[in-house]
Structure 1
């Protein structure tokens, strides 16, 4: 059997992976067009790049480029077929005349050409969606980016635009949710630098309670350590009630929330919220940005899983991908509230760099708290 990747070469069938259904759809469509070139007008906006097989795309490009032959002449002579082969060979040098006849024989119903074209478009949409999702996942985990949040959100915008375009090409149908088993949520980064930033936010916010009222864009779920998220809830609760805020009152609130029952030492907990450094806003933005990147990575992995499942139709892929991006959309709104852009009509002075706002970051040593909380 011809190699699906290189249909013009002979190979041992036992050494080849099984061809995917779209391979036969591409063969059938090309066979229909080689046999009845005028059916090109019935297949819509199919493009050469929609083909998964490069040689098939080259043949389709040649078919689209050359003038259509006279039907009566084409039925008796192979001149147009030879012209198609000559036009396609610069892009696919290994194509042969016998393979063109293989394509013609592979088409069971030439009048189904439009249906074959839709199958090819559907598979192209799946591959393209997977490419966008993989790019989003890679961007969300790239530590070298100078502005990771903006870059990740730009990739998410590109993916969303593709979904909007694809939604207009494929008709919705009942049962549109994918039934794919979702991959496990990636484990968060709990390195010391990450934990230090969360500790510094808690300590700085405890020392400057007024900052908490302006940081409603930060939530407990944004913290990688559950204990830190619970302590942030303690701070926000005390502030909301108008109670005094200091390490002692935080400890008291933590006791009422059952945090001390988890073998957290009171002395260590008070030490954790007693070493303020720099700006609460800075540490909060760092925590929120990390949560945004984590959410983007998780959404991208879900979309990749959807595209890897051949049972999903294009509309299921679109619906599932939109749902996967919903959490990213929510945290994105909070990120924009945390880092608003200056008005275009009245631009303000550039913000002080985040690092200078934070000031020097000393090492916060709370080994007992960290060790016990991570158990």
Structure 2
């Protein structure tokens, strides 16, 4: 039995049996249903309610026209829907008064699907940008995903805030080194050569380029050596770089050989460190966008995650991209972008709608016993039995 399918059938069956349940489901939309036939039928039921169907004001038993008219209206948008299936939906509803809870289950499934779909789009946009040497498509799609997460959080009734899942990877290990193209590797070698041979070249990239931006881990460790020399104010050339690489164990652990370092330095071409650095940054931005998309999709496909945790974990996964995006803006001299995931909106839903979306009923408080006017003990029949006595 599919829990989500059962929830969709149950909420529709509840509304078919009791149209008044629609007043408790104003926060539920037809698009929240997964099956097209359920989506069309729920939209038809809401339309009949909004049009003032006679069944809503009828006295006595619910007229059969409520069911048949809903089936006819939904049949304008989908095929194969019959009154027989509508009766099946009614049979699948255990209790009509539980409709808000069934609707919450439908909304939860819709949140998982929506996040997964937008994560797939982000991954596709990042891969396309990587091939075309651009970043605009990935950045726009990431903005859309960020806005969708914020809207879903408010629909669910929670505050959108990034929260790291248990055992979340660090920023350095969250982006696995993908299969990089020869062009990316060549850009990294040229950049390292320029940084080594051109005096003052590190000043152009030190503020925004990081070792983790290199697709080749060996290139990243070599750039770390250059950054260390630059930070200490020591001169940079092929000899000092070779010495720093030896001190950091790059020659001993086989990461790099002196011949490989010499080949990188000899491969310098006329160019700007800033220009090559921005090419490396562009590559890491698309890689990070793809990695964030994969992480968000994996979260969305985890059915054990509640919507609140899913949304906040997904926002945390997007934070890795936000950090790279900030440095990309610095490298290009533009304004620093800021995500608006935690900024409240003036159009927040009414608290009553939030409570309905959560479908968490408020228990009635038990009536307080009357205060006795005298210290006389209560009758024996009203006194609860003491523990340990018959």
TM-score normalized with structure 2 length: 0.76
Name the structure 1 match of 2:96.
Answer: 110
Aligned length: 323
Name the structure 2 match of 1:46.
Answer: 28
Name the structure 1 match of 2:149.
Answer: 163
Say whether the 8 Å CA contact 1:201–1:284 is kept in structure 2.
yes
Gaps of 5+ in 1: 1-18, 344-375
Task: Indicate how the Cα distance of structure 1 residues 180 and 208 shifts in structure 2: closer, same or farther if over 3 A, else same.
Answer: closer
1:80 matched to 2:41? The reply is no
Say whether the 8 Å CA contact 1:180–1:305 is kept in structure 2.
no
Q: How does 1:179-194 map to 2 (within 5 A)?
A: 186-194=176-184
Q: Secondary structure at the match of 2:195?
A: helix
Say whether the 8 Å CA contact 1:178–1:317 is kept in structure 2.
no
Within 1, Cα distance between the matches of 2:79 and 2:60? 24
Deviations 1:243-275 (A, max 9, x none): 222212211222222222134432431231233
Q: How does 1:34-183 map to 2 (within 5 A)?
A: 34-66=16-48, 67-68=52-53, 69-73=55-59, 75=61, 77-142=63-128, 146=132, 148-172=134-158
TM-score normalized with structure 1 length: 0.79
Deviations 1:316-372 (A, max 9, x none): 2112111211211111111111112389xxxxxxxxxxxxxxxxxxxxxxxxxxxxx
Within 1, Cα distance between the matches of 2:14 and 2:167? 34
Q: How does 1:308-323 map to 2 (within 5 A)?
A: 308-323=301-316
Say whether the 8 Å CA contact 2:196–2:238 is kept in structure 1.
yes
Superposed CA RMSD: 2.6
Within 2, Cα distance between the matches of 1:186 and 1:268? 24
Q: Provide runs of 4+ in structure 1 moved above 6 Å.
A: 179-182
Higher RCO (Cα < 8 Å, 6 or more apart): 2
1:282 matched to 2:264? The reply is no
**Aligned with 2:198 (options 208, 219, 223):** 208
For residue 207 of structure 1, report the CA deviation from its aligned partner: 2.4
Task: Indicate how the Cα distance of structure 1 residues 63 and 202 shifts in structure 2: closer, same or farther if over 3 A, else same.
Answer: same
Within 2, Cα distance between the matches of 1:180 and 1:311? 16
Q: Secondary structure at the match of 1:243?
A: coil
Deviations 1:82-110 (A, max 9, x none): 21111111112211111111111211111
Q: Which moved more, 1:41-50 or 1:268-277?
A: 268-277
For residue 185 of structure 1, report the CA deviation from its aligned partner: 6.0
Q: Secondary structure at the match of 1:142?
A: helix
Task: Indicate how the Cα distance of structure 1 residues 156 and 110 shifts in structure 2: closer, same or farther if over 3 A, else same.
Answer: same
Within 2, Cα distance between the matches of 1:283 and 1:33? 62
Within 2, Cα distance between the matches of 1:141 and 1:116? 38
Within 1, Cα distance between the matches of 2:305 and 2:99? 22
Task: Indicate how the Cα distance of structure 1 residues 54 and 204 shifts in structure 2: closer, same or farther if over 3 A, else same.
Answer: same
Say whether the 8 Å CA contact 2:40–2:74 is kept in structure 1.
yes
**Aligned with 2:334 (options 337, 341, 353):** 341
Q: Secondary structure at the match of 2:143?
A: helix
For residue 130 of structure 1, report the CA deviation from its aligned partner: 0.3
Say whether the 8 Å CA contact 2:187–2:279 is kept in structure 1.
yes
Q: Secondary structure at the match of 2:303?
A: coil
Q: Secondary structure at the match of 1:305?
A: helix
Gaps of 5+ in 2: 337-390
Within 2, Cα distance between the matches of 1:287 and 1:127? 34
For residue 228 of structure 1, report the CA deviation from its aligned partner: 1.2
1:262 matched to 2:272? The reply is no
For residue 172 of structure 1, report the CA deviation from its aligned partner: 5.0
Name the structure 2 match of 1:296.
Answer: 289
